[in-house]
Amino acid sequence: MLVDVPLLHLDRPFTYRVPPSLAGQVHLGTRVKVPFGRRQRVDGWVVGRASELPPDTRDLLRVVSPIPAFGPPELALFRWVADRYAAAVIDTLRLAIPPRVAAVEKSLEGLWAAEPPDPTDRLPSRSAGPTPGLDAPYPPGPGASHPPGPGAPHPPRPVTGPPVREGSPAPEIVAPAVHSPPRNLVAPASPQPLLAPAPSQPLVAPATPQPLVASDPRPSLAGPDPLAAMVRGGRTAAVYWRPLPGEDRGARVIAVIEAALERGRGAIVVTPEVAAGSAVGDAVRKAFPDAADLASDLSDRRRYRAWAELRQGRRMVVVGGRSSVLAPLPALGCVIVDDEANFAHKEQRAPRFHTREVALRRAAAARALCVLTGTVPSAEALAAMQAGQCRLLTPDRAAERAARPLIEVVDPDDEGPTAARLHPRGLAAIRAALARDEPAYVLVPRRGGADPSSPGARTAGQVAAELARILPRVPVWRLDREVVDPGMVPPWAGRQPGVVVGTVAGVKDHPPLTGCRTVVVVGADAALVQAEVRAAEEAYRTWSRAAAWCGPQGGVGRFVLQAREGGHHAVQALVRWDPGFFWRHELPRRVELGFPPARSLVMAEGPEPAEAADALAAMQAALGPAAELLGPAAMGRGWRIIAKVSDAESAARALRPMLAEASRSGGPHLSVDVEPLEVLAAAAPARRDTRRQAPAPTRRAGTA
C-alpha cells in the first residue's frame, strides 16, 4: 500500500498484513489506517497483494472508508501523473479524491453494499501474475519511477512521440445512461477540419509565411457537427477546436456529451476554475443537472458525494476544475478541456500537472476523443498539432471574417500633450456606450492605485481616477485583485451603466457587466513587453477574449486598442483574427531563445540561497549535458533555476532520484515545476519544507 506521508523517498508500496476481521473489507483502492514509524498512525491506500509476508510485518489497524478510491485504470493514471511531473503518487491522490465526509459514506452505505465494486477492482494476488496498472513492481532505489506492469496500456505521449492513430473504433462499454432533455443544436457555418503538418516537419517557423495548417480533404468529419460525429463513430483522436467569435461553445459541447451518452459512455468537461469563469461549465450544469459537479467552490460534502457516486457508476457526466480530469469515470467517451491555454488549468500544488496533458493521456488510454478548445492555441497545443497528434478544427474562413469584431488600433502619441489620457477615439467609444445605457470596459496592464507622483502610469487606479475626472457624472469602478477577489461578485454588479477599469483578471467569457459591448485597451505596449516568455501570447489571447464581447463588425460594439507598436505581430494577428499569423512570427523568436514549443522548461526553486549551488550541480548531473541550465538566480529570499530540455517527461523522470535523495537526506530543499507557465515573474517568498520532519520508516512500520 501507499502511505499518506508526503516524502518523495517514501513514494513506494509498503507491506502490511490484513487481519482476519478485515479480510472481506479490503480491496484495491481501499483507504485504511496503518501504523507507521514508532508511534504514528497514518492513512494508506491499498495498491496490491503480496504473496509472501516477512515475519515482522504489522497488521492493518482498520478500514477508514468502504468506498474503494480507484481501480487499475485510475491507479495507472495517478502513477503516470506523478512520474510526468516529478511528484509522489500520494500527492496525486490528494488532488484526485475530495476530502472525505463520513456522513456521505453513511448515506451511501446501503447502496454501496448492494452494488459491489467492479470485478476489475478486486485485489489480486501477485502469485497469479501482475495485473496491468496495479501490480507493476517499483524498481529499487530511491525515487524510482513507476512504469505500468507488463501488458498495461501505455499509449503514446500526448505531445512527443508517434501520433495516436485516428479512426480506430473504441470497444463498446455498456454503462448507465444519463438522460437529458432533447435540444436543437444550431451548428456554425460550414466548419472545415484541418490537419497539422506531418510529424516529420521540424518545429521551426518557415522562412516565408505559410498557413499554420493544411486542409483535410477526408469526408469523415463532414456534417453539421464533426465533433459529435467523431464521438458517435468511436474515434480515438485529439482535436483542437477554434470556434467562431461569439459562438455558443456550450451548445457544441452539450452535443458532444450527448453523443457520448448515446453510446453508453461518459464525458468529462474540465473548465477553468471559478475565478476564471466559463460559459461552457455553466451550460453543461444547466443541461445536465445530474452531472457530477467537482468545482472547487462547492462544499466538501457536495464534492465528495459527487465523487462517491461516480465510483458507484451512478453518474456519467463530470464537470469541474482541473482536478476533474482525474475523476473516476471508466467508461470514457470524451474529455473536453475548455480554454486549454488558460493559466487556471495549471495546478499550483504538487504534482503541478496541466489539465491539457493529462486529458490527452487519459483519452488515448481510454481510446476516447479529447477536445481542446480555445481562440489562440498554446505553445504546447501547437507542438501537438505539428507533431501530428492533434487535429485543428476551424470554421469556414469567410464565416469567421463575418463574425469577427472590428479592431481599431490607435497611437496614443498622435495626440501630443494629451497622450497621458485615453485616446479621443477611446473616449468617444465610451461616451457612445453610455449614451446607449450600456457599460464599457477599460483594460489596463497593471493593477494598483493612483500615484500622483507618476501621472502617466497605466495602473487601474490611475486610469480610473482620470476617467472619474473626465466623466464626473458617470460611475467608474475598479476591477482588479487589490479591490475585488477573483470569483467574487463585485459590489457594484447590477447597478446603472458605468465604466469598469480592470486588468486581465476581469476578462472572462462574460463581461463583468451585462450588455458590455465596448472595450478600450490602454497601455497595450506595456502588456507586450512584460518580462515573461509568454507575454505577447497572453496579451493577444486576452485581447481576443475581450474583443468577442463586442460582437461582429458592423454592429454598435467597439474595440479600441491604444498601442504605439501597431505593427507588432500580436496586434496584427488580432486585427486579422488569425492565430496562424501570430505563431508564424512568434515561433522564430521562441526557437532562437530555446523556449516552448522549441524546447521544454523545468523550473526548480528553493528557500535557502546557500543550497543553490548544490541544487545546480545535482540537476546538471541528473539531466546530463544536453540540458541548458540558467541560474541560480535570486528570487525574493530564495533562488530559482531554469532548465531547458528536449523532453519534459524524460527530464522529470531523470530528476526523481535526485529529488528522492534530497528528501531522504534533508537537503537541498527545493520544489520542481515541470513546464511552468511563468518563469521570470518573481515568486512569493519560499518557505522551508516542513514535511521532511515526518518519521522515517522502520522495519516495524511495514516492509517495502
pLDDT tens digits, 382-391: 999 999 999 9
Q: CATH homologous superfamily for 600-693?
A: BMC (bacterial microcompartment) domain (3.30.70.1710)
Residue 343, pLDDT > 90, answer yes
Q: Measure the CA–CA gap between 77 and 176, rounded to whole angstroms.
A: 23
CB burial class (10 A; 0-12, 13-18, 19+) of residue 677?
Answer: buried
- Say which range, 140-149, 290-299, 546-555, 577-586, has the weakest mean pLDDT: 140-149
- Please say whether the beta carbons of 229 and 223 come within 8 A: yes
More confident residue, 415 or 411: 411
Q: How far, rounded to the nearest angstrom, does the alpha carbon of residue 289 sit from its chain's CA centroid?
A: 24
Residue 109, pLDDT > 70, answer yes
Name the fold adopted by 405-576.
Rossmann fold (3.40.50)
Instruction: Give the CA distances from residue 607 to residues 629, 636, 683, in Å, rounded to whole numbers and listed in that order.
Output: 19, 9, 11
- How confident is the model over 370-391, as a mean pLDDT? 95
pLDDT confidence of 497, banded at 50, 70, 90? confident
What percentage of the chain reaches a pLDDT higher than 70? 76
Name the fold adopted by 192-402.
Rossmann fold (3.40.50)
- How confident is the model over 520-533, as a mean pLDDT? 92
Name the fold adopted by 2-150.
GIY-YIG endonuclease (3.40.1440)
- How confident is the model over 112-118, as a mean pLDDT? 46
- How confident is the model over 255-265, as a mean pLDDT? 97
Q: How far, rounded to the nearest angstrom, does the alpha carbon of residue 345 sit from its chain's CA centroid?
A: 2
Residue 4, pLDDT > 70, answer yes
Give 306's contacts (C-beta < 8 A, 6+ positions apart).
292, 293, 294, 315
Question: What is the per-residue burial (b if ≥16 Cβ within 10 Å, else e) of 196-206?
Answer: bbeeeeebebe
Reported as a single tens digit per residue, the pLDDT across 22-38 is 988 999 999 999 999 88
pLDDT confidence of 186, banded at 50, 70, 90? very low
Can you tell me whether residue 585 is helix, strand or coil? helix
Residue 177, pLDDT > 50, answer no
More confident residue, 416 or 327: 327
What is the DSSP track for 481-536? TTTS-TTSPPTTTTSS--EEEE-GGG-SSS-SSTT--EEEE--HHHHHTSSSTTHH
- Please say whether the beta carbons of 509 and 278 come within 8 A: yes
Position 390 scores a pLDDT of 96
Position 33 scores a pLDDT of 96
pLDDT confidence of 205, banded at 50, 70, 90? very low
Residue 100, pLDDT > 80, answer yes
Q: C-alpha cell of 663?
A: 528528501
Position 488 scores a pLDDT of 65
- How confident is the model over 59-75, as a mean pLDDT? 95
Please state the φ and ψ torsions of residue 276, each to the nearest 5 degrees.
-85, -25
Whether 192-402 shares its CATH topology with 405-576 is answered: yes
CB atoms within 10 A of CB 101: 18
Can you tell me whether residue 281 is helix, strand or coil? helix
Edge to edge, what strands does the sheet with 440-443 contain? 407-410, 558-562, 518-521, 440-443, 499-502, 476-479
State the pTM of this model: 0.83
More confident residue, 155 or 422: 422
Instruction: Give the CA distances from residue 420 to residues 447, 455, 529, 668, in Å, rounded to whole numbers and listed in that order.
Output: 17, 8, 19, 49
Residue 648, pLDDT > 90, answer yes
- Please say whether the beta carbons of 74 and 92 come within 8 A: no
- How confident is the model over 373-382, as a mean pLDDT? 96
Helix or strand holding residue 2 (H, E):
strand 2-3
Q: Measure the CA–CA gap between 334 and 147, rounded to whole angstroms.
A: 25
Residue 690, CB-side half-sphere exposure with 13 Å CA sphere? 1
Q: What is the mean pLDDT of the chain?
A: 81
Can you tell me whether residue 639 is helix, strand or coil? strand
pLDDT confidence of 47, banded at 50, 70, 90? very high
The overall longest dimension of the chain from CA atoms, in Å, is 87
- How confident is the model over 559-565, as a mean pLDDT? 95
More confident residue, 434 or 222: 434
Reported as a single tens digit per residue, the pLDDT across 426-455 is 999 999 999 999 999 999 998 877 666 665
Position 110 scores a pLDDT of 61
Q: What is the 3-state secondary structure (H, E, C) of 160-195?
A: CCCCCCCCCCCCCCCCCCCCCCCCCCCCCCCCEEEE
- How confident is the model over 611-633, as a mean pLDDT? 96
What percentage of the chain reaches a pLDDT higher than 90? 63
- Say which range, 203-207, 497-501, 530-534, has the weakest mean pLDDT: 203-207
Position 105 scores a pLDDT of 92
Position 514 scores a pLDDT of 86
Short-list 616, 181, 212, CA closest to 394: 212
Position 492 scores a pLDDT of 66
Q: Measure the CA–CA gap between 375 and 88, rounded to whole angstroms.
A: 34
Instruction: Give the CA distances from residue 520 to residues 197, 473, 545, in Å, rounded to whole numbers and listed in that order.
Output: 37, 19, 13
Q: Measure the CA–CA gap between 191 and 225, rounded to whole angstroms.
A: 8
**Domain ranges for the chain:** 2-150, 192-402, 405-576, 600-693
Give 433's contacts (C-beta < 8 A, 6+ positions apart).
439, 440, 497, 516, 517, 518, 558
Residue 694, pLDDT > 90, answer no
Q: Measure the CA–CA gap between 297 and 295, rounded to whole angstroms.
A: 6
Position 560 scores a pLDDT of 97
Q: Which range, 167-176, 365-374, 528-537, 633-642, is most confident? A: 365-374
Position 452 scores a pLDDT of 65
Residue 180, pLDDT > 60, answer no
Residue 207, pLDDT > 90, answer no
Edge to edge, what strands does the sheet with 317-320 contain? 214-215, 192-195, 391-394, 237-241, 369-373, 332-337, 266-270, 317-320, 292-293
- How confident is the model over 75-79, as a mean pLDDT? 97
Reported as a single tens digit per residue, the pLDDT across 281-317 is 999 999 999 999 999 989 999 999 999 999 999 999 9
Residue 456, pLDDT > 90, answer no
